[in-house]
Amino acid sequence: MVDECDVATGLVRQVIARGRAELVPFDVARGRRKLVRYLGADEGRWDERFVHYLYDDPAERGTVWLRLEPASLVVNDLSYAVAS
């Protein structure tokens, strides 16, 4: 499940995926591409915990990917109007 909730604006969205999943080894290059997409290319500006995902030993840290083959996806908009 992925949730987005902003109490200041009343925005609440939810995605629920169900299906068969497996754990696969962490791929550093792919992880970096995903982090660059959301955090920018300058690793010096990233929060330290994200840098650790890339450079710590994945076996020691327990970092893995979860690969999900969705059998169903449900999307809900649970947004509400914020009282003034």
Structure confidence by residue, pLDDT tens digits, 46-82: 999 999 988 898 888 889 999 999 999 999 999 999 9
Half-sphere exposure of 39 (CA within 13 A, CB side): 16
**Do 54 and 80 share a domain, yes or no?**
no
- β-bridge pairing 64-77 and 11-25: antiparallel
Where residue 16 falls among pLDDT bands split at 50, 70, 90?
A: very high
Question: Is the model's pLDDT at 1 over the cut of 80?
Answer: no
Residue 68 domain-assigned (yes or no): no
Residue 11 domain-assigned (yes or no): yes
Gyration radius of the chain's alpha carbons: 17
**Do 32 and 55 share a domain, yes or no?**
yes
**Do 31 and 19 share a domain, yes or no?**
no
**Do 31 and 18 share a domain, yes or no?**
no
- Domain membership of residue 32 as a residue range: 27-62
- The pTM of this model reads 0.64
What H or E segment, with its residue span, contains residue 76? strand 64-77
